[in-house]
Every structure is written in structure tokens, then in C-alpha cells.
Amino acid sequence: MPRIDDASTAELPPAVESVVAPLLQALHASEVLFALYDPQDMLRYANAAFEAQFLRGLALPAHFTDVLRHGGTGGFGVKIDSGDVEAFLRDILPRRRSRPFRAFQTDLVDGGWLWMTETLLPDGWLLSVAGDISSLKHAEHTLRAAHESALEASRTDVLTGTPNRRHILELGRAALAQAQQLGQPFTIAVIDLDHFKRINDSEGHHSGDDVLRHFAEHCLRQVRPGDGLGRVGGEEFLLLLPGASWNMGATVVRRLRHTLPPASRQAGGSLRYTFSTGLAQADAGEDLDTLMQRADRALYAAKQRGRNCSMVNIAGVLTVA
């Protein structure tokens, strides 16, 4: 039978009593959790589902706070992330009985979720009803994870694991706007692997893929925290250097060049390669597209100079970095 405080019952007219008995039996058998609290917040009635989730041996009547303390001590019921039941009570009690109807979700120690409602009657009695929404929450988490995975895939270059062209340009625009707002320098480096077509033609596309992965991994190990690297297409990469002047950016690129080891190939052995770089520091009010065009001209100049070097575009003037 359902848990009910006998002291709270009163004699009922026969017609009403004939309805109450089957109603209590139905509530007892229901998988929905039902509980009834008196005006002093003493739990006077709990059906079997509520008892199994929150009482587990606690005798009625029991104050609402004691129900939560009992679960906290026994390791069941409402999940309290901090583990501090008293702090949890201080947080939630001001909201309890604050309005005639409340609805909220709560997670449980066993990993389940409940959608709970509290109906406060004019005389102070409070009816608590809860339904299990665990399957819905798990489905929601699965959908969210799938969405985040798809979003990440849409932003990531499959081969190198770095941001793809669209995403690195989005990051670049955001970083440039922030640097301009803070009055800080902002430099980019457009990097192109030298004679990459020759590598693909002579060594095979698998070796070319090995080189691209190798270069991305090398850069990510060497660049500063907060710098950004993305593959913008083919053998070309974009390096974002927020807070760096062009000469600081040139220092970063020199470190990349001087520490670049040969790439290991899946087929065995290693392969040496080089890269060319065009650098540009943002002028006041300059957008990323214009900045990229200046860096591209510097990259072209580096290739014309013989590759395996860096050039910088300073206000339209190209010079060795």
C-alpha cells in the first residue's frame, strides 16, 4: 500500500470514500511519483514510486529537508554535485513554495532525470508530481553530441585536424576585431609548402599527406598559446598571431623553420621539405581580407626570391623578414 501518515486522514462521506480508495490504489501502482506535503512541509503521503526513489526506509511524517538529507546520507535521490546537502538546501528552499505552481527538471544519483511539478494549494498543502524523463534526456544528449560532432567536422580539415579555411578565417576575423578593440598588434603569416606538387608526383599522394600532417603537428607544437593555425587549401596554411608585431611574427616563423625535422612516411623513411611565408601586420581599421591580400603578395615575393624564406609586407613595401 502507499505510504501515508495515518494521523493526516479524516473521516470522509461514504460517496467520497468510495472514490478515494481506488484513487489511492491507482496512485500506489503508478510509475509517476506522487507526494503530498502539509503546510509545515511535512511529507504526509508518498506512493510506491516516490518511496523507492526518495524514502527507502524513512518513516512518515518526515520534513522535506529530512527527505533530502536522508537521500544525501544514503547516496540516492537527488544528485547534489557539491556533495554539501546543507548548502543545496540553502539554495533551493527560497524557491520552494514561492508560487502556486513550479515545474523543473532534476537529475538523480543513479543517472536518471525527473520532470517535477509542485502545486501549492491555498491552505498550504503542496502536491509534488514527478515523471521519469531519463530516456528523453539521454536522447537529447545524444542529439546534442551528434550536432556538436557534425559542427566540429564542418569546421575541421580532415587531413590535418586543424581548422579548415572557413573556420580559420572566422577565427581570424574575430581575433583581428578583438586586437583592434584592445589596441594590440595583429599579424598573420600565410605559409606555403615548397614544391609540394613535386612531392606528390615523385613520392605519391600518401607521402604528400604525411608531409601536410607532419607540418601541422610541428606548427602546433611550436607556436605560442593563443596563436591559431588552419589549412586554407592544398599545401597552404594560415597562422594567426594575435598580439604580435610583424617582427615578433617573423621570429615565430624562423623558429618553425629552424626546428622543422624531416617528415616520417607511412611507407618508411623520411622526407625533407621547406616552406615559404608571407607576413603582414594589420594597419588601423584594416579588415582580414585586405590583410590576407598583403600577406599573399609577400608570399609570392618569397617564392620569387627562391623559396624557403619569409617576406613581410609593410604598408605595401616588401622586405625580407
All three cell numbers of 289, joined, read 581580407
Q: How far apart are CA 46 and CA 77, in angstroms?
A: 14
Q: How far apart are CA 182 and CA 187, in angstroms?
A: 14
Q: Residue 258: in which H helix or E strand, if any?
A: helix 246-258
In the chain, the amino acid numbered 265 is: R
Q: How far apart are CA 119 and CA 242, in angstroms?
A: 55
Q: How far apart are CA 119 and CA 20, in angstroms?
A: 20
Residue from 17, 235, 236, 286 carrying the catalytic annotation: 235
Count Cβ atoms below 10 Å from residue 28 Cβ, excluding itself.
17
Please say if 235 is a catalytic residue. yes
Q: Residue 167: in which H helix or E strand, if any?
A: helix 165-182
Q: How far apart are CA 113 and CA 107, in angstroms?
A: 4
Q: Residue 42: in which H helix or E strand, if any?
A: strand 42-46
All three cell numbers of 313, joined, read 609586407
Q: How far apart are CA 26 and CA 108, in angstroms?
A: 25
Q: Which of 274, 240, 232 has its CA nearest to residue 257?
A: 274
User: Any idea which residues carry the catalytic annotation?
Assistant: 235
